[in-house]
């Protein structure tokens, strides 16, 4: 059982950041579940090679310590923004001896267990996981596609959000169904990101909606098989690109 496992963050601020991430997921789905992996004392990683469990190197750098100080907590959530959705990943460096854990838990219960004052979290009991939780992005084989920064991405992203709103408003109200709006969104978000042409705009939109895009922050893109991922210092989004007919249209809410 991992229900009593307590994890302390190397940087106490990570507790608040994890809470914010979970709160955003719950705005999309009040019954959201997350897949979490607590990895004790991971091996040092090559700074030029993507990690095996999300982004432990970046989390370790942010905490001001090595990637082997106490382990890494990786939390995966799904943004239900289309047929297959987009996965979002938040990681944090752990302090001291960390128990290994691999489970799917309630995002709401995990949020309730975050202790910002202590900079810690108690892992809740596991729940029956949704199908996506068993189909995470691969651990290895990621190839770099390029890098840019948030400031070069935001103009295109905001213009696309405006375009969606204009086109949605042009649809007569009696025809404005979810399917119609998703078709408009899918057309817009399937376009290439100008700053990273191999990455669809939907990846940047998902990162924006989950709060990963901060002004001036660097962005890197990688591919592994049918998966793409876009990584910022505050988290990563990943999406499958080799599933025929899987609509990933992201509909702006505001």
Chain segment 160-180, per-residue pLDDT in tens: 999 999 999 999 999 999 889
| Alpha carbon distances (Å) from 29 to 55, 68, 80, 178, 229 | 24, 34, 8, 17, 22
Neighbour tally for 151: CB within 10 Å: 13
Distance of CA 179 to the CA centre of its chain: 25
What SS3 class is residue 192? strand
Determine the average pLDDT of the residues in 79-93: 83
Instruction: Give, in order, the Cα–Cα distances in Å from 191 to each of 213, 253, 254.
Output: 19, 19, 20
Q: What is the largest CA-CA distance in the chain?
A: 59
From the list 190, 172, 193, the residue with the least C-alpha distance to 246 is 190
Instruction: Give yes or no for residue 54 having a pLDDT over 80.
Output: no
pLDDT bin (cut points 50, 70, 90) of residue 4 is low
**Which pLDDT score is estimated for 254?**
35
The structural domains of the chain, with segments of one domain joined by +, span 6-134, 143-240
Burial class (CB in 10 A: 0-12, 13-18, 19+), 16: middle
pLDDT value of position 103: 92
Confidence of residue 70 (pLDDT cuts 50, 70, 90): confident
Cα torsion angle, 121, 122, 124, 126, sign: positive
248 pLDDT more than 90? no
Tell me the C-alpha to C-alpha distance, in Å, between residue 91 and each of 39, 163, 187, 196: 11, 33, 31, 24
Span 90-147, pLDDT tens digits: 999 999 777 788 999 999 999 999 999 999 999 999 999 899 998 899 888 999 999 9
pLDDT tier for residue 63 given thresholds of 50, 70 and 90: very low
Q: Which residue has the higher pLDDT, 73 or 58?
A: 73
Contact 38, 105 (CB under 8 A): no
Q: What is the pLDDT of residues 208-217, one digit of tens each?
A: 999 999 999 9
Q: What is the mean pLDDT of residues 69-85?
A: 81
Angle between helices 178-189 and 150-170 (to 10 degrees): 150
């Amino acid at each position: 059982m991992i229900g009593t496992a307590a994890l302390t963050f190397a940087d106490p601020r990570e507790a608040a950041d994890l809470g914010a991430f979970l709160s955003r997921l719950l705005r999309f789905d009040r019954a959201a579940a997350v897949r979490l992996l607590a990895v004790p004392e991971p091996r040092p990683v090559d700074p030029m090679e993507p990690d095996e469990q999300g982004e432990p190197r970046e989390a370790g750098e942010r905490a001001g310590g090595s990637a082997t100080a106490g382990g890494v907590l990786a939390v995966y959530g799904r943004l239900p923004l289309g047929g297959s959705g987009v996965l979002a990943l938040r990681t944090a460096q752990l302090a001291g001896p960390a128990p290994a854990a691999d489970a799917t838990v309630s995002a709401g219960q995990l949020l309730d267990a975050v202790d910002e004052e202590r900079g810690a979290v108690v892992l809740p009991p596991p729940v029956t996981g949704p199908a996506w939780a068993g189909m995470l992005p691969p651990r290895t084989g990621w190839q770099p596609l390029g890098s840019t920064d948030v400031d070069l991405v935001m103009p295109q992203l905001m213009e696309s959000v405006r375009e969606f709103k204009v086109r949605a408003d042009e649809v007569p109200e009696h025809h404005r169904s979810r399917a119609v709006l998703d078709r408009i969104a899918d057309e817009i978000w399937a376009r290439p990101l100008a700053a990273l042409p191999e990455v669809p705009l939907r990846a940047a939109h998902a990162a924006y909606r989950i709060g990963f895009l901060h002004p001036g922050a660097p962005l890197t893109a990688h591919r592994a098989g049918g998966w793409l991922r876009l990584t910022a210092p505050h988290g990563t989004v990943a999406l499958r690109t080799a599933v025929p007919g899987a609509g990933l249209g992201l509909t702006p809410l505001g």
